[in-house]
Amino acid sequence: MGAKNKRKKKSEAKPSAKVEPPFFRPFSGLSSGGPRSEIEPTAPVQAAKKSQRVMPSPEPEDVMTFERFMAGVQPLDATKASRVSKTQTDVESSFAKRAQSFAKERELADQQALRQLHALVQDGSRFEVIDDGRRVEGRRRGTDGGMIRRMREGSLPVDASLDLGDVAAQQARSSLENFVRERRIRGDTVVIIHFGRSGHSVLRGEIAAWLSEGDAAKHVAAFLSAPPEWGGENALCVLLANGAESHRGMR
């Protein structure tokens, strides 16, 4: 009993073993034989190598054939020449032809208008017209005065007459021009133009202007207010460019 108590006391008096804390070693797990990283860098390199293809070198025969076909060919100068499509060339050619045609037509029209204007001025300058408000008389320079005097006296026979009393002005001018041209072709010498039988009659001054200018003038040698027996102030007596006047270039 006494021995047991002694052993118990000894065991209780024996100090317990001291436990030291472990030393912190953050890189202890790393070693040369440690596990590899899961990302393998070799895969993209292998894929890149597979995408590269090696072009075969041209055969000597192909090179010689190409050089033979290209012999004598000279490159175009980029600063002086450019490739133009056939469609664009055709369009430009068409526009150029139309422009030339339009310019030619315009030139011809201008020349014709100039000739007409010259003819009007020339014909007007050849006529001497006198109008006192009641009676009118006009003659082409060089016309025989004896013929005009006889026509004024009413001693010349009248070959035909035209009544413009009920005709509008524009239609009256056309009718007058056609009438004097046709009667001159028939060989007539004196015709009468009536204009004062209605309130819508053509004015005497307008008819005198038509007879001394334009298309009708080249068929007329003289005109004057008709004698009383032929209509007086309401009519004009016209001497056509026949007989002696035809030898002076009146046709």
How far, in Å, CA of 242 to CA of 224, rounded? Answer: 17
The answer to the question of residue 145 being in a domain is yes
Does 9 reside within a domain? Answer: no
SS3 state of residue 65: helix
Which pLDDT value is given to residue 94? 75
Asked, for residue 10, whether it belongs to a domain, the answer is: no
At 18 the pLDDT is: 52
In a domain, 37, yes or no: no
- At 238 the pLDDT is 95
What is the CATH classification number for the domain harbouring 197?
3.30.1370.110
For residue 68, tell me if it sits in a domain. no
pLDDT of residue 211: 92
Residue 201 lies in a domain: yes
Amino acid 142: pLDDT: 84
Tokens of 163: 């009544």
What is the per-residue pLDDT across 211-248, written as a single tens digit (0 to 9) for each? 988 789 989 999 999 999 988 888 999 999 874 454 34
Tell me the pTM. Answer: 0.48
* 208 C-beta neighbours (distance < 10 Å), count: 22
pLDDT of residue 138: 92
Q: Which domain holds residue 137?
A: 128-248
Strands 160-163 and 190-194, bridge-based pairing:
parallel
Residues 236/208, Cβ–Cβ less than 8 Å: yes
The confidence score (pLDDT) of residue 249 equals 44
Is 176 within the bounds of a domain?
Answer: yes
Give the per-residue pLDDT at 199.
Answer: 42
pLDDT at residue 220, rounded to an integer = 93
pLDDT value for 8: 52
Please report, in tens digits, the pLDDT of each residue of the chain (251 residues total).
Answer: 555 555 555 555 455 555 555 555 655 555 555 555 454 555 555 554 555 555 666 566 676 777 777 776 777 666 665 655 556 666 667 778 888 887 787 777 667 655 654 554 554 447 888 888 788 899 988 888 899 999 999 999 999 999 988 788 788 889 999 999 999 999 999 999 998 764 444 567 888 889 988 789 989 999 999 999 988 888 999 999 874 454 344 44
What's the rounded Cα separation, in Å, for the pair 209 and 242?
Answer: 20
Q: How far is CA 77 from CA 10, 17, 115, 158, in A?
A: 117, 102, 52, 85
Other Cβ atoms within 10 Å of 164 Cβ, number:
24
pLDDT of residue 74: 73
Q: What are the C-alpha distances in Å from 184 to residues 209, 236, 239, 245?
A: 19, 16, 10, 12
Counting the structural domains of the chain, the total is 1
